[in-house]
Amino acid sequence: MVVLRRLSPPFTHTRSCIAALSLICLSALGWPALAQPDNALQAADPATPASAVAPLALPATGATAPQERPADIARAREIWQRANERVAEFPRGHADLLRWEARNPGDAAPAAEGNSARPEPLDVAQALRLSLRLRPDLFTHADMNALDQAAVQVAYAGHVRDVQRAWVDAVSARQSWRHASELWDATRTGSELGRRMVVAGNWSQAKLMREQLTEASAWQVSVNAQGTALAAQERLAQLLGLWDAQAVARLGERLPASLPAPPPRAAPGAGLSETTLEAAVLRADPLLNLQRTEAQRELNAVSASRRQTWAAAVDAALVAMPDPGTASTPPHIGNLSLLRDHPLERATRAEASLLRAASERRSMARQAWAELQARHASALHAQNVVAQLQAALEQETVLRYNGMLQSSWDLLASARERMQSLDAALQARRDYWRAHADWQALLNGAGYAGPDTASNAGAGTTTTPAGH
């Protein structure tokens, strides 16, 4: 089931049902109940005991000092023989040896890694319900007029979009952090292998330092990815009203391991087609519907001939207007009888304002739909083409390595490239779900601000040099 489904407005249920459901969700997640009357007072009170903020688990930095070489030939031969004997114990040579030693500091045999049970993931529907407890302004009331209800509907659709995008960003950022950590681990393996080869006398210091630079760049990418993940998690925590450090940390544990895969094809929605998109977006805007009713009433109060006279005066003023390159003078109407006709003035203003709003709304529909299609195509391409090709290339490199046709460096470089392609596919998937949230918000009455510059690129955040 795709979690980013359209959500029915919560105000269709009773307030007591909403409160009960939110309390159940909070209890299941192990978070403090927001329904406590003094919860906000505790959060805002500097005297409230706060949980200790856990320090960042930063990866260890690599060594920068040049590797000391053996002083004599006999010592060098001894080191070289011992290193090759250790490598011969593993079928894939250096790469297997380094990975085994990283997992097994002692001499014990490698142990199978157990899969720790993950807590129940927090989906976007639960996140939305939790966030609405902080937004009483997004609930409609029985005594609201049509204009107030329309304003709440538009604001609610925008809030749903914000929660969906924050959830998508938090999930994808944590996954990207894992990719960056794995990439750093691969570069660390290459750096350690180079260090041993320098000790054995098979490699130069210059080659080792290039591997160390690659490792240093990967370390920085991993740290940046961790910062991005924590920032996205904090943004989601703000929308949910989580203020305790431990509760925010548990939020990260509740997020799913990955985003759902995009659907096979980009669809505008149930009962919608390319020819009915604009109409659906127009109908979804309650403020525009009220504006259209008001403009119709104002236009009906003025005769058609009077409006034609005004249109002729406008055309004449536009023709007489000086060229913009010679003077900055606005068009001018001198017919006082037209200017003092207040019903005509209200009708023309209402008509012009409605035309601007309708044009903007139709443009939003075209832009959002085009963006959704482009992001969907990019996500499928990265997932089904680029990532698959990179996986096949890595497998071919492994086969050639096992056949002693390629070196350990080719194997490590192939692994790094595949991790980068996986992260690029993740970013493309994230961009699709953000575009999907924008499209759903537009269909529910919110506006469309356009894609963010950072997320529109659809490229991974990993920029580690390829190395050897």
pLDDT tens track for 380-392? 999 888 878 877 7
Residue 54 inside a domain? The answer is no
Domain that holds residue 21: 13-35+67-102+122-289+343-456
Q: Determine which of 145-159, 170-184, 383-397 has the lowest per-residue pLDDT on average.
A: 383-397
* CATH number of 223's domain: 1.20.1600
Which of 364 and 47 is assigned the larger pLDDT?
Answer: 364
Residue 441 inside a domain? The answer is yes
pLDDT tens track for 269-322? 888 888 899 999 999 999 999 999 999 999 999 999 999 999 999 999 989 888
Q: Determine which of 101-110, 164-173, 279-288 has the lowest per-residue pLDDT on average.
A: 101-110
| Tokens encoding 251 | 């939020």
Distance separating alpha carbons of residues 162 and 171, to the nearest angstrom: 14
How many helical (H) and strand (E) elements, i.e. helices and strands, does the chain have?
A: 16, 0
Distance separating alpha carbons of residues 281 and 365, to the nearest angstrom: 6
* Exposure b/e, 313-325, CB count within 10 A at least 16 = b: beeeeeeeeeeee
Distance separating alpha carbons of residues 314 and 193, to the nearest angstrom: 79
Contact in structure between 176 and 225 (CB atoms under 8 Å): yes
Which pLDDT score is estimated for 401?
62
Backbone phi and psi for residue 440, each to the nearest 5 degrees, phi listed first: -65, -40
Distance separating alpha carbons of residues 123 and 257, to the nearest angstrom: 11
pLDDT at residue 402 is higher than 80: no
Distance separating alpha carbons of residues 55 and 59, to the nearest angstrom: 12
Distance separating alpha carbons of residues 135 and 241, to the nearest angstrom: 10
pLDDT at residue 419 is higher than 70: yes
pLDDT at residue 135 is higher than 90: yes
Residue 403 inside a domain? The answer is yes
- Report the percentage of the chain scoring pLDDT > 90: 41
Residue 190 inside a domain? The answer is yes
pLDDT tens track for 232-277? 999 999 999 998 888 898 898 899 989 999 999 999 988 888 889 9
124's CB contacts (< 8 A; 6+ apart) are 3, 4, 163, 164, 167, 168
Contact in structure between 371 and 277 (CB atoms under 8 Å): no
Residue 425 inside a domain? The answer is yes
For 352-381, what is the HEC assignment? HHHHHHHHHHHHHHHHHHHHHHHHHHHHHH
Residue 338 inside a domain? The answer is no
Which pLDDT score is estimated for 82?
62
Which pLDDT score is estimated for 20?
42
Residue 46 inside a domain? The answer is no
208's CB contacts (< 8 A; 6+ apart) are 66, 67, 191, 194, 195, 197, 198
Residue 253 identity (one-letter amino acid): E
Contact in structure between 415 and 189 (CB atoms under 8 Å): no
Residue 48 inside a domain? The answer is no
Domain count along the chain: 1
